[in-house]
Every structure is written in C-alpha cells, then in structure tokens.
Amino acid sequence: MLSTAGPAASHSLIVASSTNASKPFANLNHNIPRFLGFRQFSPDCSCSGSVSFGWNSGSKRKFNRSRMEGFAVRASAQPLKNADELIDSVETFIFDCDGVIWKGDKLIDGVPETLDMLRSKGKRLVFVTNNSTKSRKQYGKKFETLGLNVTEEEIFASSFAAAAYLKSIDFPKEKKIYVIGEEGILKELELAGYQYLGGPDDGGKKIELKPGFLMEHDEDVGAVVVGFDRYFNYYKVQYGTLCIRENPGCLFIATNRDAVTHLTDAQEWAGGGSMVGALCGSTQREPLVVGKPSTFMMDYLANKFGIQKSQICMVGDRLDTDILFGQNGGCKTLLVLSGVTSLSTLESPKNTIQPDFYTNKISDFLSLKAATV
C-alpha cells in the first residue's frame, strides 16, 4: 500500500456544487484518492456554480473553490481617480500578465515606467498567469525579451501551481502524472521531482479504430493534469479519460478553465478551458483547478512572502478569474480595460463581479498620480 510522507493527518475531500451539478458525484466515494489518505467525501450544495474541489488536512491547509463560485452583492466599481491613494494603501501588487502586461508578444504601452515607479516606492510586485505553456524560468526569459527586469521568484504560472499543489498534498513520488498540456507543465513537474508522461510527445499520436481494439494505459498514473495544449488530440482525450475513470483515486487537475486566451494581439483564441471541458465531458467529473480564481495560488503567495492579504492589490483584465481571484483572497482589486473586459461588460446588469476600481491600463498609475499632485 502506498503511503504519504510526513506525519499522519486526517484529510477530507470538500466538494462544493450547484444542485444541477451534484448528481454526477452521488457515487463518487470510490474516486477519492486512497493513496493520499482521504477518508470522507462531503458534498456541499450550498453555493452556486460548477462542482469544485478543495483539500483540508490536519495541518490546516485548505484550498477550495467554494468561495470562488459564490456571488456576493457588491457596490459598482469606481473609476480610479487617485492612484497615489491606492498605491499607498497596499504593500504588494499582483499583476496578471496577458492583457495587463502584454498582449501576445507585444508589451502594452507604459508598463516599464509603471513597474519602475512602483518599485521605487518600495512595493513588492508579483506576476501571476493562468497560462501553463511556460515554466517560471521560461516566463522570466519572456519578461527579459520584453525589456522587463523580473526575477523568477516574482513569477507564478499555473504550470508551477500544479506542481506546487501536488507537493502540498504529498502526492506520492512513485505515482506518475499524465499531462495534457505543453512544456511548461513538464518542466515544473520535473523540477518538483515527479514522473510524468504525455505532453507534446503525444501530440502526433493517432488511434486506429479497428474491430476489438483496446487502448492500453499506465495503471500507475495517479493524476491527470490538463492545461492549454496546442497539440490537443483524441489520443490525449482517451488516455486521460482512461486514467481518470479506471485508475483508483486518480486526480483530475486543471491549471485553469479560461475560455479564451491571447496567443496574438490580433484576436482572442480558444483557451485552456476548452481542453479541460473535453475531459469533463468524457469522465463526467469536474477538475480541481489550481489557477485563478482558485485561492490556492493566493494562499501560497501569502505564506511564501508573509503578506497580509488586505495589503495586496490584484490587478487584472478578467472579471471571472483575476478580479474573483483577488476578491476570494480578501484583496483590493483593480480591473484594467486593456485586455478581454470592456467597460460595457463591466457595467452590464448581467455582470455580478465588481472590482473596487477600474481604469484603462496600468500606466494610468502615472497620469492619475500626476493629476492628483
């Protein structure tokens, strides 16, 4: 029998779901990861939204998405008028990358000057992205290419979050991880000391459906990690499905569920949520999401840097990931309109997510600062 490292602790798997989403989990007890020591399955249908997972251990670690899916009544967002007031009220700024710092491979105007100004004021800067195609080291090179001085310690990608999450639950090193995703996830898993298979290597594989054909899969796979994948194909869907459905206790982890992403600055492209959705359909299971708006990365950052969450401002261009991420973590929130969210979307009666402030782009910190002197 496999065992986890560290002292024994009681664990429970927490599931939050809407009424409509609860039925697929009525008989899910057999899917609880036995090798992680989970003993109890606790459905909770008190919040709206899709079914979600969190982990609660005797060490008081709790990473759940129940808060992520709830809707709170908030006052309408206010346009940012006094940048100095916001800057002085926090110690740390967490920035999303796509749509805030850059679009595709193009830097958004005024970003270098804005970051330099914030650093000159002694602010800690952290960059968080749901894009899992690169590792932290690879993202460091992208920042460098764009002329930005950002260290690897300041970067948190969802590829890193997947590896960090597995470490946080003492995922057994003898178990393997099947990856539907790109090089970033593989590199972070390797740095964390995990065995993996799949990824880009399976991008060219095809299935020849002949009478009686049975597709084999590795029974030692204990987790399937799904992220954005430009080499997504039916082979990967079937392999991941077999692992999740047939390997006892196999985890289903998603780096994010973003509907769209910025591969270029010319248009929006289908995001990692489309790959995750395919596995949701074939397995009839919902993943544990480690990227935004899950609070896992926020909790990790707060613990790593010793930051009080009330002293953080989350800056992003997406309401349902960035702003919700900040709100779930108890941070101040600033929406920038340089990415996917327009002012009309923000002000729509259908929108239930309201940031504290909004502005056109982060370089408004400079102009609005000057206007208030």
Question: Which residues does the annotation mark as catalytic?
Answer: 91
Check whether the bond before 211 is cis (ω within 30° of 0). Answer: no
Other C-beta atoms lying within 10 Å of the C-beta of residue 24: 15
Helix (H, G, I), strand (E, B) or coil at 127: strand
d(CA 297, CA 295): 6
Residue 320: DSSP 8-state: I
Other C-beta atoms lying within 10 Å of the C-beta of residue 191: 13
Which element (helix H / strand E) includes 187? helix 183-191
Residue closest to 268 by CA, chosen among 19, 133, 116, 98: 98
Helix (H, G, I), strand (E, B) or coil at 138: helix
Helix (H, G, I), strand (E, B) or coil at 96: strand
d(CA 13, CA 32): 8
